[in-house]
Chain A
Amino acid sequence: MSTPAASLEGASLSFGRRVLWQDLDLQINPGEFFAVLGPNGSGKTSLMRVLLGLQPLTSGIARVNGRPVARGSRDIGYIPQQKSFANHTPLRARDLVGLGLDGHRWGVRLGRRGFRRRVDELLEQVGASSYADAPVGRLSGGEQQRLRAAQALASDPKVLLCDEPLLSLDLHHQQAISSLINRQCHVNGSAVVFVTHEINPIIEYVDRVLYLAGGQFRVGTPEEVMTTEVLSSMYDSHVEVIHNEGRIVVVGLPDATHHYGDEQDEEA
């Protein structure tokens, strides 16, 4: 049996008396597309930080590729939320992607020919060749996110961690980025952990879902977890889940998470 790409054993995380989740056992396998859903403040981003080794667990153990997490790892590719670069950042699109290849190495870069070829391939792969030499500060959010994807895929990571990578992108770029991530997952065999508040843009790719809410969690396929019964019991109030033409609409989330409900309605 192969080692899970990422795993949590008896993991709990609390801040003071606020318990985000408790006794969470998880195994995420190579080639699995794993979505983490839940309202704001439910600990989605904290879970990501745990896997990145930036947030210690209250109890339990987290592993990436069989090893306990450390502060960052070469086995991890990371696509953060879209955040614009300053206008005069001295990097072109190709330089940003290049950092994903060898940005962790010491010294200055030697042997540039093979490096350049690899960067060109990655840019081609994400459809960014036409702005390869443009300064990153001049690119739109969607274009920058494509580069983020290329950067994260550069090392062919064991685990690809995506923290709301589609936020603030238009529909067209959402589809482009999520299909790239899917290819890395199901073709190249990376495990994908995809934190999002909106499952629909990735619904056709998701293998399993972790839903976090109210200090509880549920793990399973989208069909098992995203149901009226499960979500109503997690939120402790009636929540209606409607499956329609392959999309999932959640209606009637409690006030505490009103923001989340708004966004769901808007995008549905």
Chain B
Amino acid sequence: MDFNELWSAVFNFQDYAQLLPLVRNSLIAGAVLGLVGGMVGVFVMMRDLAFAVHGVAELSFAGAAFALLIGANVVFGSLAGSIIAAVIIGLLGTRARDRNSIIGVVMPFGLGLGILFLSLYQGRSANKFGLLTGQIVSVDTVQLNLLTGCSVFVIVALLAIWRPLTFASADPEVAEARGVPVAKLGIAFMFLLGLAVALSIQVVGALLVLALVITPAAAALRVAASPRLVVLLSVVFAMASVVGGILLALGGRIPISPYVTTISFLIYVVCRVIGGRRDRRGADRRTGHRLPATVAATGPAAVSAAPVQARTLPRVPKG
């Protein structure tokens, strides 16, 4: 394969205008999934659940493979595997260390089951590969409706528990003291996470779910600290990755997941660079009015060092 062939396999915009209407539904579903992934991802980062997402994805894959084998609805299989895994992890792994070992135990088992089911499956081999890497397996209108319906459910449920979940994720001890049902919220969130992972798998596949659920939120956290802005950026990044991925993949003949993961990775790299620069400048959004006058008065050299000094100088309490 020479370079031109490679290029036309990856990027091919012939007949684009005719192809576009065919993926209208996929684009809508992709946008909704981006919304779900971006919102859920923020809590995944706050609760340190990146590894859990991966574990849930592998069991979701096993569920989907089983559904494929017995000729059932793949989305249902994926949802079932995902939710079972997420709730088990939520119930057994309240502490991070327990959780990671449970995931480590469950994940290879799930992947093994998935491979077993796939090797027993006699149908089209493209279907098998699609589960892992995200060639949407025969998505018809019924399944698209299912995806969108589940996404809307996740979004509404997440909004309903937003504040206490934020409290419980960021500051569990104090939240518990104030009567927030920390443990129950943890299980509820794992359930929603299971749903979100199963949905994302339909687009990017089991191996690449992290690109949709972790990467956008991780990128947003690099450049913002305000909770609203973090969620907004995370959602925008996730949507840009999915919708952009679908649009780019339209003409080529490879699955959409490489496009989605590449866009989301590039966004992360850019955010990391921006965030890193900001960190080095020491811009941490403090107002400088407490800086003693002597620092500012000792000439231009002292001015550039001021942000660093401001952090180490003792603070004088007001009143």
Contacts and interface: CB of A to CB of B under 8 A. Distances in A.
Interface of A: 52, 54, 70-74, 76, 78, 80, 85, 88-92, 95-96, 99-100, 102-109, 124, 127, 129-131, 133-135, 137-138, 140, 142-143, 148, 151-152, 155, 161, 172, 176
Contact of B164 (A70, A106, A142, A151): A106
B230 A104 contact: no
B109 interface: no
A142 B167 CA distance: 21
Interface string B160-198: 111110110011011111111100000000000000000
Contact of B224 (A90, A124, A129, A151): A90
B164 A52 contact: no
A107 B162 contact: yes
Contacts of B230: 90
A71 B178 CA distance: 9
A101 to B, nearest CB: 10
Contacts of A90: 42, 45-46, 170, 220-221, 224-227, 230
Looking at chain B's contact residues, the main secondary structure is helix
Interface residues of B, number: 43
Contacts, number: 135
B163 A76 contact: no
The CB with the most chain B CB atoms within 10 A, among A85, A105, A124, is that of A105
Contacts of A135: 225, 284-285
Given A80-B174, A131-B287, A152-B174, 16 more contacts: A71-B179, A78-B178, A88-B222, A90-B46, A91-B170, A92-B226, A96-B171, A99-B163, A99-B166, A99-B175, A100-B174, A107-B159, A107-B160, A130-B287, A134-B286, A142-B315
Contact of B163 (A54, A72, A102): A102
B177 A72 contact: yes
B162 to A, nearest CB: 5
Given A90-B224, A135-B225, A104 B286 contact: no
B227 A78 contact: no
B266 to A, nearest CB: 20
Contacts of B160: 106-107
B178 A72 contact: yes
Contact of B179 (A73, A89, A107): A73
Given A71-B176, A76-B178, A90-B46, A108 B225 contact: no
A107 B165 CA distance: 10
Contacts of A99: 163, 166-167, 170-171, 174-175
Given A90-B46, A99-B171, A138-B284, A106 B163 contact: yes
Interface in B203-230: 220-222, 224-227, 230
Contacts of A109: 163
A103 B176 contact: no
Nearest to A163: B173
B53 to A, nearest CB: 17
B97 interface: no
Contact of B176 (A52, A107, A133): A52
Contact of A76 (B177, B181, B317, B319): B177
A95 B181 CA distance: 20
A133 to B, nearest CB: 5
Contacts of A103: 163-164, 166-167, 171, 175, 178, 180
B318 interface: yes
A80 B166 CA distance: 18
A91 B227 contact: yes
B314 interface: yes
Interface in B22-66: 42, 45-46
B224 to A, nearest CB: 7
A103 B162 CA distance: 9
A106 B160 CA distance: 6
A107 B224 CA distance: 22
B177 A91 contact: no
Interface string B258-301: 00000000000000000000000000111111100000000000
B171 A72 contact: no
B315 A105 contact: no
The CB with the most chain B CB atoms within 10 A, among A70, A107, A130, A152, is that of A130
Contacts of A138: 284
Given A88-B222, A90-B42, A80 B180 contact: no
